[in-house]
Amino acid sequence: MTKIDDAPSTTGGRPRVGLFVTCLVDLFRPGVGFAAVKLLEDAGCSVEVPEAQVCCGQPAYNSGDQGAARRIAKQVIEAFQGFDYVVGPSGSCMATVRKEYPAMFDGDVTWHARAVALAERSYELMSFLTDVMGMSAVTASFHGTATYHDSCSGLRTLGIKAQPRTLLATVEGLTLTELQDAETCCGFGGTFCVKYPEVSVRMVSDKVANIEMTAADTVLGGDLGCLMNIAGRLKRLGKPVRVYHAAEVLAGMAGPAGIGDPEKG
């Protein structure tokens, strides 16, 4: 058995959580990162943000460039060594860490063991809060009727379905309504949305039509990629529906401007 030097550094007390920011959150919506920090701290964690992280490597991995994906994964594994948990506000990125990292290092004993060790303590934010930290309610308010889009990787790879709904149900003033075909892909799919723009737009248009059918004024989700895709189409069509990452609402940090809305809206 290889020695794993990536084991948790502390036991007892407040769990040390390394926040995996995700590149889209870093670049487009840092507010989601701060919302994640608040939720994690509310749940009793101490949160740190390793500087050596950039991206989980999924774009390279899914495009076939496994060499680059492995280089990026190694950097992530090293950056997060020593944390009790690694948590990110994205089902898709965390599915990559949990499921694909070990697969990437098949046949490389040392790195495989390190990848497995990281995978085992990595979680998507909402599943971490509920499944690991036992959080069942938040103290936040948000006024409106929201519907929730289940992003594919989180849903099918990590089994995230009830967790965000459980927490959202405790947000004061928020009414949740279910979306028809909530589990159908919105057409984002990483580079798919730019490789097949017409097909992608067709798919997101179906999603938008279903959103309109709910008469909800807000759409929530757990993955910024999908949310930017959905918001982008809603805004192009001039629809007044607001779009937020669920973490923003749960942290009470949803602010006036939804994704794609002007700041002083």
Partner 1 sequence: MLVNGKDFSSRASKAPADAGLQQQVSNLKTGFVAARARAVAALPEYEAMRDAGAAIKDHTLANLDFYLERFERAVVDRGGHVHWAADAEEACRIVREICTRTGARTVTKGKSMVSEEIGLNEALEADGLDVVETDAGEYIVQLAKEAPSHIVMPTVHKTTNEISDLFFEHHRRHGFSERVTDAAELIAQVRSVMREKYFSADIGITGANFLVAETGSNIIVTNEGNGDLTCTLARVHIVTAGIEKVVPTLNDASVLLRLLARSALGIETTSYTTLSTGPRRPGDADGPEEYHVVLVDNGRTKMLSGAFRPMLRCIRCGACMNHCPVYLAVGGHTYASVYPGPMGAVLTPMIARHEAANELPHACTLNGRCQQVCPVKIPLPDLLRRLRHEQWEDGFIKGRSRWGLGVWSWLATRPALYRVATRLGVQVLRWLGRSRGRIGHLPLAGEWTAGRDLPAPQGTTFHAAWAKRKRQP
- Burial of 121-143, coded b for 16+ CB within 10 Å and e otherwise, reads bbbbbbbbbbbbbebeebebebe
**With binding defined as CB under 8 A, does residue 263 bind partner 1?**
yes
Do 88 and 22 contact (CB within 8 A), yes or no?
yes
With CB under 8 A, what is the number of residues at the site for partner 1?
Answer: 74
Do 81 and 74 contact (CB within 8 A), yes or no?
no
CB of 225 to partner 1, least distance (A): 10
The smaller minimum CB distance to partner 1, of residues 49 and 116, is found at 49
What is the chain's length?
265
Footprint of partner 1 on 119-148 (CB under 8 A): none
**With binding defined as CB under 8 A, does residue 196 bind partner 1?**
yes
**With binding defined as CB under 8 A, does residue 180 bind partner 1?**
no
Among 16, 41, 190, 210, binds partner 1 (CB under 8 A): 190
The smaller minimum CB distance to partner 1, of residues 170 and 210, is found at 210
The smaller minimum CB distance to partner 1, of residues 14 and 169, is found at 14
CB atoms within 10 A of CB 24: 20
Angle 186-188-191 from CA coordinates, rounded to 5°: 160
The smaller minimum CB distance to partner 1, of residues 14 and 71, is found at 71
Structure tokens at 49: 């943000």
The smaller minimum CB distance to partner 1, of residues 144 and 190, is found at 190
**With binding defined as CB under 8 A, does residue 246 bind partner 1?**
no
Range in contact with partner 1 (rule: CB under 8 A) among 24-32, 122-130, 133-141, 165-173: 24-32
**With binding defined as CB under 8 A, does residue 228 bind partner 1?**
yes
Among 140, 204, 253, 254, binds partner 1 (CB under 8 A): 204
Footprint of partner 1 on 31-60 (CB under 8 A): 31, 33-34, 49, 51-55, 57, 59-60
**With binding defined as CB under 8 A, does residue 201 bind partner 1?**
yes
Distance CA 162, CA 265 (A): 31
Range in contact with partner 1 (rule: CB under 8 A) among 64-72, 122-130, 132-140, 245-253: 64-72
The smaller minimum CB distance to partner 1, of residues 17 and 175, is found at 17
